């Protein structure tokens, strides 16, 4: 039987990693017009966000044990669900004439 605590941990971890990754991306994009070196900002932000997310998913896989693939799937679903939710919140409204 699947451990409910592991699934809730995976869901929380996916949402947290999604906020970290896509929130960091949003902050990076907002800083690009005022930075002196946009390439360095973009690369360092990308590498930092990827490293933190990969480390988070790795910890989730190690800690959940027997249900690692199921928990990883739940976590990734939550990660991309958060992405879609943020896109709906942030995208500009287009006026139709």
Dump pLDDT digits (tens) for 1-33: 568 888 898 999 999 999 999 999 999 999 999
pLDDT for position 1? 57
Indicate whether 94 belongs to any domain.
no
Domain count, the chain: 1
Indicate whether 95 belongs to any domain.
no
Indicate whether 93 belongs to any domain.
no
Indicate whether 22 belongs to any domain.
yes
| Domain boundaries, position 55 | 4-88
> Measuring CA to CA, which residue among 34, 33, 18 is closest to residue 85?
18
Indicate whether 96 belongs to any domain.
no
Indicate whether 54 belongs to any domain.
yes
Give the Å distances, CA to CA, from 96 to 8, 14, 51, 93. Answer: 42, 36, 41, 10
The pTM score is 0.84
pLDDT for position 65? 80
Indicate whether 24 belongs to any domain.
yes
- pLDDT bin (cut points 50, 70, 90) of residue 97 is low
């Amino acid at each position: 039987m699947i451990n409910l605590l592991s699934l809730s941990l995976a869901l929380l971890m996916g949402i947290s990693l999604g906020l970290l990754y896509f929130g960091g991306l949003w902050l990076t994009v907002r800083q690009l017009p005022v930075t002196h070196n946009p390439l360095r900002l973009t690369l360092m932000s990308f590498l930092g966000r990827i490293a933190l997310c990969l480390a988070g998913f790795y910890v989730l896989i190690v800690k959940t044990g027997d249900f690692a693939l199921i928990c990883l799937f739940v976590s990734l679903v939550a990660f991309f669900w958060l992405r879609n939710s943020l896109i709906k919140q942030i995208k500009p409204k287009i006026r139709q004439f």
